[in-house]
Structure 1
Amino acid sequence: MGMKLLHGHSRHKDGGGTIDHPRAYEIMAEVGFAGRRRRVFTRLAALSGAGPGDQVLDVGCGTGYLTRILASLVGTDGRVTGVDPSHPMLDHARRRAPGNCSYQVGEGQALPFPNATFDVVVSSFAVHHMPTAARGGAVREMFRVLRPGGRLLIAEFRPPANPLAARLVGVLAGPAMRPSMPDLLAALVPDAGFRIEDTGEVGPVLYYVNAIRPLETRS
């Protein structure tokens, strides 16, 4: 099953693109995580800090896999909203969503929500799909829609330690993964106004940044 089936990067040389084949994506994701997908995303949901009653936004939610895990954390008094540019992915997500999840079509660099709407914003494996020039704007949008004191979690791929594996990832992903996501997020997140609280790894190829929107925003 080729990368072109899943990704639109071949049409976007600057790294942007969408995934429009949800069933194929789900199969590839399960294979790619070697049976540990649920464990990894449950860990991400915990790292986000989402809890009962929170309003949570998942930017680039895809098939809604993470939103459904987050929904159990926020409970009936909370809500998880997913946003993604792909209609097929959102259709797939809606068919499987619990009652406290909802989905909207949109792009990370132009989120369709008012300022300070959410308590928590998460994004997993989405930044590298955005056009290179839009990535900074997307993180600034996450800052805008997050309330002061709210939490941000971005999870992305990191280059494998093995040089051969790292080269293979670079060939498959092309410009979407350059510069490396850890290096990129180390600049984009504080530049948007966030205060980074923690960084780390979950599994062999996942890197995360946990940050807070300060109570006093920059002038």
Structure 2
Amino acid sequence: MNRWSWLCPWLAIALAAAVFMLFGLTWWSALLAAFLLVCPALLLWGLFIIRQKSDEPAVHTRGMTMNWAAPFYDVYCRAVGLGQGFRGQTLQVAAIRAGEAILDVGCGTGVLTRRAGEAAGPAASAVGIDPGQDMIRVAKENAQRLGSRAAFKVAAIEQLPFENARFDVVLASLMLHHLPPDLKRQGLREVYRVLKPGGRFIVADFYRPANPLWWLVAWPFLFMPTTADNFHGTLPDYFREAGFDPVQGNGRRAGILAFWTAIKPEEKTS
């Protein structure tokens, strides 16, 4: 497990301790501390119950992984407002057309991958990749249970196991903030490589908070290498640096998430 994955639980434990030191043990301080300790409790529970050996091949990445959250990832996403509404907004930005080939990088348990494949119809192909072995195991199990044609494999964005110009659309939903700056750049170059000319890269991720209240929550992430460039607002610059043009913002969600469409230019004809 990447060391930066522990930032959230350690921050939660520190805040809970600070609450008790400042206000003592009262019913409301105990309630607040219990709320703060949900994150580390879920992490420990996830690490405990994924001890079973996965049949999926392992890949190495220096990015953060959410493999420990695989057993409860879908419930967690719904609980924090990243459920069907968020997925639907992402697909609305993607404007997927019938028959398109779709890649979902950092797919987690595959919810967005499956919905994207459904939007593209039976003639389409939808593939999800994630470096988390248990995430992919759960994604495959869910796809089989739901009768989805989406395919899943263990892989990391910085080394995509696909040929050049294979996909019409690549989706990246809340995964770029798991990568340090050099892996972001490498991963974006890989996305550019596997997209067809004129293909679309659809990104939903953290961005500069739209109001001061969010900054009170987000400021610690300015010191975390994987998330700092998100909150400094440099993601669009990374897209352009990788060769995407144009790069267009497509709205916000909850004041802290942003959506982009980045286009791989058509090949020039002489």
Structure that is richer in strand per residue:
1
Is 1:142 aligned to 2:191, yes or no? Answer: yes
Contact 2:106–2:172 (CA under 8 A) maintained in structure 1: yes
The one of 16, 22, 45 aligned to 2:63:
16
**Higher relative contact order (Cα pairs below 8 Å, separated by 6+ residues):** 1
Is 1:81 aligned to 2:117, yes or no? Answer: no
Q: For residues 232 and 205 of structure 2, what CA distance do their matches in structure 1 show?
A: 8
Q: For residues 182 and 43 of structure 1, what CA distance do their matches in structure 2 show?
A: 24
Post-superposition CA distance 1:126-171 (Å, at most 9, x none): 0111233211010110000001111110110124333343232233
What letter is aligned with 2:237? Answer: A
What letter is aligned with 1:77? Answer: A
Q: Compute the TM-score of the two structures, normalised by the length of structure 2.
A: 0.71
The equivalent of 1:66 in structure 2 is 112
Report deviation, 1:101: 0.3
Structure that is richer in helix per residue:
2
3-state SS in 2 of match to 1:133? helix
Report deviation, 1:43: 1.7
The equivalent of 1:12 in structure 2 is none
> How does 1:120-135 map onto structure 2 within 5 Å?
120-135=169-184
Q: For residues 186 and 243 of structure 2, what CA distance do their matches in structure 1 show?
A: 12
> How does 1:124-203 map onto structure 2 within 5 Å?
124-171=173-220, 174-175=223-224, 176-181=226-231, 183-203=233-253
The equivalent of 1:5 in structure 2 is 43
Q: For residues 221 and 104 of structure 2, what CA distance do their matches in structure 1 show?
A: 26
Percent identical residues: 30
Report deviation, 1:182: 7.0
Which segments of 5 or more consecutive residues in structure 1 lack a partner in the other structure? Answer: 9-14
Is 1:32 aligned to 2:80, yes or no? Answer: yes
Q: Compute the TM-score of the two structures, normalised by the length of structure 1.
A: 0.86
RMSD: 2.4
